[in-house]
Structure 1
């Protein structure tokens, strides 16, 4: 039976790997998700054999509740809220790993069993899992704009974090050494204190991090959840937890490093300093600057008469307005008129990597037209028009201004300013998620501002274009 269980876990791990690999492209993402889910089903059934089908009622009830919550969430949560959903599920996984470790440690203490590996791994699992849970909860609240929006900090915050972390290590050592360091605090209360202190640490680490860096933080917390699951696998002596957690931890770490590099954000600076918006790059209260307010007809006339190559840059505002359908129609109409149309996709155009790619592909935009930042930037040099729909931070030249210190300073951007004409479709002159004003808005020689909801604006331009 042990050999069969091990083979089942091995098959599940192989399906996890294949599924994750197929998640890299929208065309194969659905099948990749299904394959990984099938692997998880195999792992769950194999685990029932490991525990000899004990406690089936609570396990079945928990599985049913989880399945219902997952199914309803998948159907009800909008595409624009997917980053929040990812953050929430990350946190649940980390919290579950921490509680499992705490429960197992209590079991070992009450039965008098001695397990050095579990004793050492439990505090680590609780630390990582609790930080992941609390940090993901804060990330959810920030993205949902419920609380802790922007950067929340206080004097000596990093010193407090450091002292708290050292305290956690001392409590963990006390638990492992059976209360030798702090005789008044037995092992079980020590690990409970580790849990509470780690939750506080998770909150304090994430609250000073600005919105521009939140996608990186979510990826990092995802890696933490994987590591917590792997560590709990050592506690429970469960191979699939070790394998699956390691895969998630490794993939999350790789994604975090790639995003940090792509956005020009040193990970150490994000985590240990928190990048808050400074006073530069913001419009003074009450300051009025002229803009070129264009009508849908003016935009359509320019596209019809003067544009031969058009680069469309979608942003989070497009996703919020559910304007991907009209955008696809605009692309098709321009192509029918003999124009070349491509799309420029920033890594965090939808707040998470791949978010915008999936949204547009499902709307019928050919995947080969969706160019990454590195591939599309050279295309702006000979583009007649760059149409920015619901985006700001990812096209803001302030990111490359050495005289400004802003939340997006150093972040690679889509260089739309190199196009012959820049057309913004957005509701107002309000800055983006990072709170940094965009100097392109006020370039009246180059920029046309169409003030409208993304969906409405695209539909009006489309109607005018068809009638031109």
Structure 2
């Protein structure tokens, strides 16, 4: 296979990746976008294997064992990936994404160590000769970004899962005196050892630099609370892309550079959008310092005991059935209860009665960007009914009934009315403007931000307590 053919195939794979990103930007085209991504990756992998075989043949090397191990790894890894993707619950998708980011970061570190160990095998330098300084810079960057991505993603995985007792994995921020100064000193030390490696190609400073980078990944993420995890997931996605791109430069592999750059830039753009949605500083997110500025994770503490107006599923069904316009606000509680299919049935019944039904989606509803969109798509909800926050906020004042299902912070009026609130300034779905509000929750427990929600205590709000799936199924039966 000539280099011109390799370049052409890599170009085709790159176009597929670009089309994948374009397709994934809209639920209607998400399936075709996924298909483009899979085709592009298949082309990239097969082309790279063919290139390895060609180079090995030119050197007279026997690759039978190496290729056997490579294909075995592809089969085993592909089987594990397919199994996990088929079995993962929608509520566990954010943890899965964080886990995948960690593996990308670790892969970048492993490749960098392989290159430093055997530079001649990767064509960076003749046998016994030092690696060019420019390639050492690329290896340094790819290694420390990959190490930070790996350890940071592991912490994010633990915080998102919420089932581990280890303190670093708990939702509440882990803060201590001099935290930022320690992070700064470690970053400077990492940079110093990286410079020594770039000047000498010595192993010891390279290993120390990597160890510091692993530690920094932990220290950057632990002060960030559960409320901000959607942004962290997006940020780590960006980091993993840049790590891959850095290693791509070292390997002189244009496919890795392009794919990594696409992931890195799209992740950075998404992080910026999420920061705007949560009223956060983009640069503080990149530096991992915003978890203790407010909006920290839910503390799980006791909330103020205040009277609320509660009702049954039958009461809620009566209100919905007699409304002309209904807006549904899905939240993480809906995903936990796996109630999206029951909600689709309720929506269909309301539409059959001539009621105008719409869905309102907040950019950070759930635990990762697009979580609610995917949840509704899984239930085959007509996407014409789904509206983003900026498009539907102006309609709440004319809405007869808003049905809030498991959402909390994203509909909390404190963001608009209380300048001292930790979510002050965060754009919210303005459900409080509707004529009547129905809220379904298991209890009066706080959301990620650990705040009481004034929406629940308004005179026009009716709370319906219980599992979302059971409550919605009862509503379906009661709607006439």
Q: Tell me whether the two structures share a fold, i.e. TM-score over 0.5.
A: yes
Q: Residue in 1 aligned with 2:57?
A: none
Q: Partner of 1:121 in structure 2?
A: 138
Structure-1 separation of matches of 2:462 and 2:299:
21
Farther off after superposition, 269-278 or 432-441: 269-278
Q: Distance in 2 between matches of 1:357 and 1:176?
A: 46
- The structure 1 residue matched to 2:311, chosen from 294, 297, 303, is 294
SS in 2 for 1:93: helix
Runs of 4+ in 1 over 6 A off after TM superposition: 281-284
Look up the SS of the partner of 1:150 in the other structure: coil
Structure-to-structure mapping, 1:158-237, within 5 angstroms:
158-178=180-200, 187-237=202-252
TM-fit CA distance, 1:227: 0.7
Deviations 1:356-409 (Å, cap 9, x if unpaired)?
A: 112212312110110000011111010111100011111111222344232x33
Paired residues of 2:277 and 2:364 also in contact (CA < 8 A)? no
Q: Does the C-alpha gap of structure 1 residues 434 and 189 become closer, same or farther in structure 2, counting only changes over 3 Å? A: same
- In structure 2, stretches of 5+ residues that fail to align are 55-62, 121-126
| Paired residues for 1:321-360 under 5 Å | 321-360=337-376
Alignment of 1:382-393 (within 5 A): 382-393=398-409
CA change 1:319–1:218 in 2 (3 A) is: same
Residue in 1 that maps onto 2:59 = none
Q: TM-score, normalised by structure 1?
A: 0.93
Q: Is the 8 A contact 2:413 2:455 kept in 1?
A: yes
CA RMSD of aligned residues (A): 2.0
SS for the counterpart of 1:122 is: helix
Find the counterpart in structure 2 of residue 47 from structure 1. 48
CA distance in 2, matches of 1:272, 1:225: 15
**CA 325–47 in structure 1, closer or farther in 2 if over 3 Å, else same:** same
SS at match of 1:255: helix
Write out per-residue CA displacement over residues 115-139 of structure 1, whole angstroms, 9 at most, x where no aligned residue.
Answer: 2221111111111001111111111
- Asked if the contact 1:265–1:410 (Cα under 8 Å) also holds between the matched residues in 2, the reply is no
Residue 6 of structure 1 corresponds to which residue in structure 2?
A: 7
Name the residue aligned to 1:19: 20
Q: Extract unaligned runs of 5+ from structure 1.
A: 180-186
Residue 29 (structure 1) shift? 1.0
User: 1:278 deviation in Å?
Assistant: 7.8
* Matched residue count: 456
Correspondences of 1:29-428 after superposition (within 5 Å): 29-52=30-53, 54=63, 55-108=66-119, 111-145=128-162, 146=164, 147-178=169-200, 187-270=202-285, 271-276=287-292, 277=294, 285=302, 287-305=304-322, 307-406=323-422, 408-428=423-443
1:217/1:283 Cα in 2 relative to 1: closer, same or farther (>3 Å)? Answer: closer
- 3-state DSSP of counterpart to 1:52: helix
SS of the residue 1:51 aligns to: helix
Pick one of 437, 457, 472 that aligns with 1:458: 472
Please state whether the residue corresponding to 2:358 is helix, strand or coil.
Answer: strand
Distance 1:283 1:113 in 2: 55
Equivalents in 2 of 1:329, 1:89: separation in Å? 34
**What is the CA-CA distance between 1:161 and the residue it aligns to?**
0.4
Q: How does 1:436-455 map to 2 (within 5 A)?
A: 436-443=451-458, 445-455=459-469
47 and 420 in structure 1: CA distance in 2 versus 1, 3 angstrom threshold: same
The change in CA–CA distance for 1:286 and 1:112 in structure 2 (over 3 A counts) is closer
TM-score, with structure 2 as normaliser: 0.91
